[in-house]
């Protein structure tokens, strides 16, 4: 695969020409796509040039050894350098192969984060709030924007459901491994006996769908409006601003009541519906290639228990890659890279096995 990189200069020159085209500059979305492709090939070029340099250095050092230098210390130094260079060559080949792997077309998309309380009653609802805070803190550290699209708060300070749109650079590429069941083990604040309670929430990560990409027939939608309500059922609005949309062909239902404007709630609900429809299409596609799906940690079965958060021990365990970390406090505070990076690396290595 690395041998195929000889036309990199030509590709980069072609993309630079496109980037200077005034017609492309006026289309920000198209410009951004070309700019990302240009940056990708530039990174490949840097690695490829270093790969060539290291190969040449190894050859030069081996030639020195063949010349039969009488200085044992010098011979030992050259051998050590060859060892270091060969290790670097292996790293470079791996980095280049990772960049050559087929890209997930959704990686650069904005992403819907959906968190729902599962088993565990109030404790599960509280953990929905905790996870939303964790993801929000992580988004802040990445320079991403978080916009709440819909929520179903409970009086205890938790949420039955929380849906947010996270916008920024390559959001889906980092968060797509979070879909699944997240189990929490801790002593509830209301528990007087100090017994550890186990509850669970479900996380779904959906790429945002472009309107032109997934055009919804408005005749296939049923719209209902009603009065928004807050925790405990009390009315929070005196007008029928909450919106419920049902997609009749699939039965998918989306509700939104966070905005005071019916128009804004409708727009948000349509955005969420579009993402769910795109996700449904992609899930059906993935089901057809179940072998590939089983071999990767990607956007797998959402009924699968993927992670356990054990608060008494300060332990997080990701069951897909047998990763255990005793730094739960910092992870819950948004330092998610310690979890996400090993997942991404594992997924890449599994994909490499399939093409080598």
Q: How would you class 38 by CB atoms within 10 Å of its CB: exposed for 0-12, middle for 13-18, buried for 19 or more?
A: middle
The pTM of this model reads 0.71
Q: Residue 343 and residue 336: Cα distance in Å, rounded?
A: 11
Instruction: Tell me: do 251 and 161 sit in the same domain.
Output: yes
CA 19 to chain centre: 28
- Quote the pLDDT of residue 354: 74
Instruction: Tell me: do 157 and 282 sit in the same domain.
Output: yes
Q: Which of 59, 74, 100 is the last residue before a domain boundary?
A: 100
- Quote the pLDDT of residue 289: 47
Ranges 66-70, 232-236, 257-261: which has the least confidence: 232-236
Instruction: Tell me: do 93 and 157 sit in the same domain.
Output: no
- At residue 201, the 3 state secondary structure works out as strand
Q: Residue 319 and residue 323: Cα distance in Å, rounded?
A: 7
Instruction: Tell me: do 162 and 215 sit in the same domain.
Output: yes
- At residue 356, the 3 state secondary structure works out as coil
Instruction: Tell me: do 282 and 201 sit in the same domain.
Output: yes
| Tens-place pLDDT, residues 243-271 | 899 999 888 999 888 788 888 888 888 88
Instruction: Tell me: do 83 and 210 sit in the same domain.
Output: no
Q: What are phi and psi of 253, to 5 degrees?
A: -125, 130
Q: Which of 70, 100, 130 is the last residue before a domain boundary?
A: 100
* DSSP labels, 227-273: --B-GGG-B--SS--EEEEEETTTTEEEEE-SSS-HHHHHHHHHHHH
Reported confidence tier of residue 139, pLDDT bands at 50, 70, 90: very high
Using the predicted structure, report yes or no on whether residue 146 has a pLDDT greater than 90.
yes
Alpha-carbon separation of residue 251 from 119, 184, 244, 254, 275 (angstroms): 24, 31, 12, 10, 15
- Quote the pLDDT of residue 299: 45
Domains: count for the chain: 2
Classify residue 91: in a domain, yes or no: yes
Using the predicted structure, report yes or no on whether residue 323 has a pLDDT greater than 80.
yes
| Alpha helices (H) in 164-229, listed in sequence order | 171-175
**Can you tell me the mean pLDDT for 317-336?**
96
Instruction: Tell me: do 59 and 167 sit in the same domain.
Output: no
Instruction: Tell me: do 56 and 148 sit in the same domain.
Output: no
Instruction: Tell me: do 317 and 226 sit in the same domain.
Output: yes
| Tens-place pLDDT, residues 288-316 | 544 444 444 544 445 678 999 999 999 99
Classify residue 232: in a domain, yes or no: yes
| 323 DSSP assignment | E
Q: Residue 306 and residue 163: Cα distance in Å, rounded?
A: 20
Classify residue 142: in a domain, yes or no: yes
Using the predicted structure, report yes or no on whether residue 121 has a pLDDT greater than 70.
yes
Using the predicted structure, report yes or no on whether residue 225 has a pLDDT greater than 80.
yes
Instruction: Tell me: do 88 and 205 sit in the same domain.
Output: no
- The residue that leads in pLDDT, 77 or 260, is 77
Q: Which of 53, 76, 100 is the last residue before a domain boundary?
A: 100
What is the CATH classification number for the domain harbouring 156? 3.30.70.1660
- Quote the pLDDT of residue 58: 93
- Quote the pLDDT of residue 195: 85
- Quote the pLDDT of residue 261: 83
Ranges 2-16, 63-77, 300-314: which has the least confidence: 2-16
Using the predicted structure, report yes or no on whether residue 160 has a pLDDT greater than 70.
yes
Using the predicted structure, report yes or no on whether residue 176 has a pLDDT greater than 90.
yes
**CB-CB contact of 295 with 354 (8 Å):** yes
Instruction: Tell me: do 325 and 285 sit in the same domain.
Output: yes
Q: Residue 72 and residue 74: Cα distance in Å, rounded?
A: 5
* DSSP labels, 89-132: HHHHHHHHHHHHSPPPTTTTS-EEEEEEE-TTTHHHHHHHHHHH
Ranges 143-147, 179-183, 270-274, 293-297: which has the least confidence: 293-297
Paired strand residues for 162:
115, 151
- Quote the pLDDT of residue 32: 81
Q: Residue 245 and residue 257: Cα distance in Å, rounded?
A: 12
Write out the two tokens for 160.
């039955």
- The residue that leads in pLDDT, 243 or 353, is 243
CB atoms within 10 A of CB 21: 13
**CB-CB contact of 180 with 305 (8 Å):** yes
Q: Residue 23 and residue 9: Cα distance in Å, rounded?
A: 24
- Quote the pLDDT of residue 172: 94
Q: In what order do the strands lie in the sheet with 315-318?
A: 145-153, 159-167, 111-117, 197-207, 180-186, 305-310, 315-318, 323-325
Classify residue 250: in a domain, yes or no: yes
Using the predicted structure, report yes or no on whether residue 83 has a pLDDT greater than 50.
yes
- Quote the pLDDT of residue 36: 82
Classify residue 106: in a domain, yes or no: no
Select, from the ranges 6-15, 44-53, 221-230, the one with the highest average predicted confidence (pLDDT). Answer: 44-53
Spatial CB neighbours of 214, under 8 Å, sequence gap ≥ 6: 274, 277, 278
Q: What residues make up the domain containing 340?
A: 111-351
Mean pLDDT of the chain: 84
Taking only Cα atoms into account, the Rg of the chain, rounded to an integer number of angstroms, comes to 26
Instruction: Tell me: do 294 and 160 sit in the same domain.
Output: yes
Classify residue 356: in a domain, yes or no: no
Classify residue 68: in a domain, yes or no: yes
- Quote the pLDDT of residue 296: 44
Classify residue 105: in a domain, yes or no: no
CA 336 to chain centre: 11
* Helix (H) or strand (E) run with residue 137 in it: helix 122-142
């Amino acid at each position: 695969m690395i041998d195929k990189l000889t036309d990199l200069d030509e590709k980069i020159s072609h993309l630079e020409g496109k980037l200077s085209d005034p017609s492309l500059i006026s289309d920000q979305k198209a410009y951004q796509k070309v700019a990302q492709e240009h940056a990708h090939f530039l990174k490949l070029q840097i690695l490829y040039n270093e790969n060539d340099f290291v190969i040449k250095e190894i050859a030069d050092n081996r030639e020195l050894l063949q010349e039969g230098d009488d200085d044992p210390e010098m011979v030992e130094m050259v051998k050590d350098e060859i060892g270091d260079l060969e290790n670097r060559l292996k790293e470079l080949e791996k980095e280049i192969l990772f960049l050559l792997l087929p890209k997930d077309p959704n990686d650069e998309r904005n992403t819907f984060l959906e968190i729902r309380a599962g088993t565990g009653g109030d404790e599960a609802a509280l953990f929905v709030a905790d996870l939303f805070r964790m993801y929000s803190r992580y988004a802040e550290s990445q320079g991403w924007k978080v916009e709440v699209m819909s929520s179903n708060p409970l009086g205890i300070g938790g949420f039955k459901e929380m849906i947010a749109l996270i916008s920024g650079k390559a959001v889906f590429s980092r968060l797509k491994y979070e879909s699944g069941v997240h189990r929490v083990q801790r002593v509830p604040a209301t528990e007087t006996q100090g017994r550890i309670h186990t509850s669970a929430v479900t996380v779904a990560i959906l790429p945002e769908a472009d309107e032109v990409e997934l055009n919804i027939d408005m005749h296939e939608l049923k719209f209902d409006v009603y009065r928004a309500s807050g925790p405990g059922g009390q009315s929070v609005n005196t007008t029928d601003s909450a919106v419920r949309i049902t997609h009749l062909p699939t039965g998918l239902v989306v509700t939104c009541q966070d905005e005071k404007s019916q128009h804004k709630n409708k727009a948000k609900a349509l955005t969420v519906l579009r993402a769910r429809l795109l996700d449904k299409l992609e899930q059906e596609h993935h089901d057809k290639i179940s072998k590939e799906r089983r071999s990767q940690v990607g956007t797998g079965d959402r009924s699968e228990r993927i992670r356990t958060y054990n608060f008494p021990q300060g332990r997080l365990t990701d069951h897909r890659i047998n990763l255990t970390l005793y730094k739960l406090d910092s992870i819950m505070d948004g330092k998610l890279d310690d979890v996400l990076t090993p997942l991404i690396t594992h997924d890449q290595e599994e994909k490499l096995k399939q093409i080598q």
